[in-house]
Structure 1
Amino acid sequence: MTENQRPRIAAMQGCGDYNLNSALQSSNLQSAVPLLVDAAKSIAMDPNRPMLLADYGASQGRNSMLPVSAAIDAMRSGREPAGPITIVHTDLPSNDFASLFTMLDEDDASYLRGREGLYPSAIGRSYFDMILPPNSVDLGWSSNALHWLSHNPINVPDHGWAILGADERARDAVDAQLAEDWERFLRARAVELRSGAKLICQFMGRGPDGHGFEWMASAFWESWVDLSRDGLLSPEELLAMTAPSAGRSMAQIEQPFAGGTFEGLRLEFITTIQAPDPYWDAYQESGDAEQLGRSWASMMRAANGPNFVSVLSPTRDKTALLDAMSGRLARRIAQAPQRSRSYNVMLVLAKD
């Protein structure tokens, strides 16, 4: 199958829905912001040109505002005058960039508030390819994005995530795709980053005994199975619903750097931590299990729903199916509340 023949990966749910339902992702990135600030302070400012900050996988922008604001302030700290900075947000061509630019223009959290000399733009291309000129990026940031694959390599009948299914060969196919995509991402960034530049990434990883995402992924999948049992999906449609995502282990991330560097990039720092669960924290305060279910269902719908329904015929009422699935998922969680246990990878790449 050629690159053009592969099913396209869908962006997050549009019309600003992902912005409204990504509190989990916002919590996930918080621990990586100090790494970004430290990296920003280490970048040598060049008075003869604008600095370039690249935001890889920006989605609709809400979760970019805090880290980009922090990076801008750190880059300019103690340096007068404050030089111009170009900020380039990248995501898939189908991304809801209108919501991103609306946030920049109207929201109080916009990094444009109270700051001058900033020039935001956006590029609708996959970060698995080069999307910026060679030797142009001074500082890079990517959050909640690199667990997405360039494409889904295989479907399995027993789960919506092939990496969590029973077929070992399918799991091997996903791991092979993770390895290929990781090197492809690194090669593209190695060309784009300037000498002395750094790139900070945070994304879903694996813990010592699994992904940690098993509970929620299974609840999401079982809610689609419910629709099939109710006659709302055919077995063929259900089989094609496979999420193009999986967490990487630290060993998988470190593998390209076994020789010390990869394409001129150095893995300066890496760690895996247990991810926060803001929905559970809110439930502990309120005791409202139904709200817990709604929060999880809305987030999963916004982040994963578009890829699941992208395999359906254009004649299908996808909104109605997402509504039906979300209701079942919310009830499933409310009936058996638990804290999510997943893992965050945080790393710093440097180009020496």
Structure 2
Amino acid sequence: MRRLRSTTTSPPEEATGKHVPFGEEGTGYYSLATRGCFDVIERATPLLLQATEQAIEAYKARNDERPFTIIDYGTADGGTSLPALCKVVDAVKAALPSTPVEVVYEDQITNDFRSVFYHAHGLITPAGSMHQSEELRSYTQKYEDVFVLASGSSFYNQVVSPETVDLGFSATAMHWLTDIPQPLRDCLHSACSTDATEIAAFREQARQDWLRIIENRRNELKVGGAFVCVNFAKDDDGQFLGTTAQTPSSMHHNFNNLWHAMADEGLITHKEWQATNFPNQYRSKDEIAENQVDGLRIVSLETAVVPCPYRASWLASLEAEESRDALEHAREFIPTTRTWSNSTFVAGLDATRSDEEKDELVEEMFTRYVNLVAENPADHGMDYVHTYSHYRRV
């Protein structure tokens, strides 16, 4: 499996190469490998439909003749959000049958937009939707006046014209920071840091970045419009992505240990290990609540944990006394950790290395992770910890 190559630059003041999609373009690989994201968005769907109702009422009150515009920020390949967006479009068309609907998919320039359009037009079906009672049909297959658009503008900037958006949605995307505020010395992710200086630096970077994000969302929303954001978090119990009380082994600590072992063995340098930092912040609920902008009001805010479906499947097989191959399970599970992290490991390697050498080294790290999981699959999973926030433009 190859990573998509980036030959473009990011918007000003935003670091390049933060998240280069991993997988074959046009195949919907991200959605195929990240089943848990469907569960996260399914949990958010009632909140999203509540926000949709609010946006519809605001649209009616304005007697608006413009299209009803929906934006999916940080959409990846567009597959994981498709079941929810189909329900949103259904709700809009039921309430406003003669109103055209625009669905705008936003992500970085290097995104796999081919898969976005394939999903939106029903040419491929996201595998995570197979649990539904009937095969998923895209909204474009049901309505002639629903139009699909895409934007390669960063969500750190304004994506569309002022006051043109009725409903904004983002799932598992806005934890990416514009840059790393300072190197992490003993870990790869700020959520694992115990250094007060590092923690403060990442929290301040995240504060500035979040204000920039929500200022632009406020500017884009019509008055009465809504924005629902599902964002990686560190909860009140200290739990975060892949590190929860119910799962014995911590994903981010495993990343660090495996990468550091390769440095000890001389496969990579210790300088490269230390240069491998995730430009992320898993914001707490307080970090969201404390940072607000005029004109955008928080309607609701909560934190929740969604279990890893791969680990749940393994545990269910043990309960049912089914015979499953541990190595095969590990090979199915690891891609859900790799689709979003692969480029961070590549970025940590020295520029003097060839692309092929970098890919081989990262492949070695993930092969070691597969073998680690296969030793005791019940210990490993990627539980999701998110804040679920609902904003209204006033």
Change (3 A) 1:47 1:136: closer
1:107 is displaced (CA, Å) by: 2.2
Distance 1:39 1:343 in 2: 21
Distance 2:266 2:374 in 1: 24
Distance 1:8 1:327 in 2: 23
Say which SS state the counterpart of residue 182 (structure 1) adopts. helix
Change (3 A) 1:116 1:62: same
Where does 1:227-246 land on structure 2 (aligned, <5 Å)?
Answer: 227-246=262-281
Change (3 A) 1:54 1:340: closer
Alignment check: 8 A CA contact 2:301 2:389 kept: yes
Distance 1:3 1:49 in 2: 32
1:340 is displaced (CA, Å) by: 4.6
More deviation in 184-193 or 309-318?
Answer: 309-318
- Aligned equivalent of 2:246: none
Alignment check: 8 A CA contact 2:177 2:280 kept: yes
1:273 aligned onto 2:290? no
1:322 is displaced (CA, Å) by: 2.7
Amino acid at match of 1:10: H
Amino acid at match of 2:346: V
Distance 1:85 1:79 in 2: 9
- Aligned equivalent of 2:40: 28
1:327 is displaced (CA, Å) by: 1.1
* Aligned residue pairs, count: 346
Change (3 A) 1:117 1:135: same
1:292 is displaced (CA, Å) by: 4.0
1:315 aligned onto 2:354? yes
Could you list the per-position Cα deviations for residues 117-149 of structure 1 after superposition, in whole angstroms to 9, with x for gaps in the alignment? 111111112111111100010111101112221
1:10 aligned onto 2:52? no
Where does 1:124-143 land on structure 2 (aligned, <5 Å)?
Answer: 124-143=152-171
1:341 is displaced (CA, Å) by: 4.6
Distance 2:185 2:33 in 1: 29
Amino acid at match of 1:315: S
Give the alignment partner of residue 80 of structure 1, picking from 87, 97, 108.
Answer: 97
Say which SS state the counterpart of residue 239 (structure 1) adopts. helix
Distance 2:382 2:334 in 1: 13
Identity %: 25
Could you list the per-position Cα deviations for residues 81-134 of structure 1 after superposition, in whole angstroms to 9, with x for gaps in the alignment? 3x2111110011111111211222302443322222111111112111111100
1:223 aligned onto 2:258? yes
1:23 is displaced (CA, Å) by: 0.8
Distance 2:80 2:236 in 1: 28
Where does 1:91-102 land on structure 2 (aligned, <5 Å)?
Answer: 91-102=107-118
Say which SS state the counterpart of residue 179 (structure 2) adopts. coil
- Aligned equivalent of 1:172: 200
Alignment check: 8 A CA contact 2:40 2:384 kept: no
Alignment check: 8 A CA contact 2:264 2:270 kept: no
Distance 2:343 2:74 in 1: 16
Amino acid at match of 1:321: L
Distance 2:231 2:45 in 1: 13
Alignment check: 8 A CA contact 1:211 1:247 kept: no
- Aligned equivalent of 2:70: 53
Say which SS state the counterpart of residue 138 (structure 1) adopts. strand
Amino acid at match of 1:301: R
Change (3 A) 1:237 1:10: same
Distance 2:171 2:383 in 1: 18
Amino acid at match of 2:345: F
1:32 is displaced (CA, Å) by: 0.6
1:349 aligned onto 2:391? yes
1:103 aligned onto 2:119? yes
Give the alignment partner of residue 40 of structure 1, picking from 42, 52, 72.
Answer: 52
Change (3 A) 1:164 1:193: same
Where does 1:137-216 land on structure 2 (aligned, <5 Å)?
Answer: 137-213=165-241, 214=243, 215-216=250-251
More deviation in 196-205 or 154-163?
Answer: 154-163
Change (3 A) 1:52 1:342: closer
1:283 is displaced (CA, Å) by: 0.5
Q: TM-score when scaled to structure 2?
A: 0.82
- Aligned equivalent of 2:327: 290
For structure 1, which runs of at least 5 residues remain unmatched after alignment?
Answer: none
For structure 2, which runs of at least 5 residues remain unmatched after alignment?
Answer: 1-10, 126-135, 244-249, 319-323
Distance 1:156 1:47 in 2: 50
Amino acid at match of 2:316: E
Alignment check: 8 A CA contact 1:12 1:304 kept: no
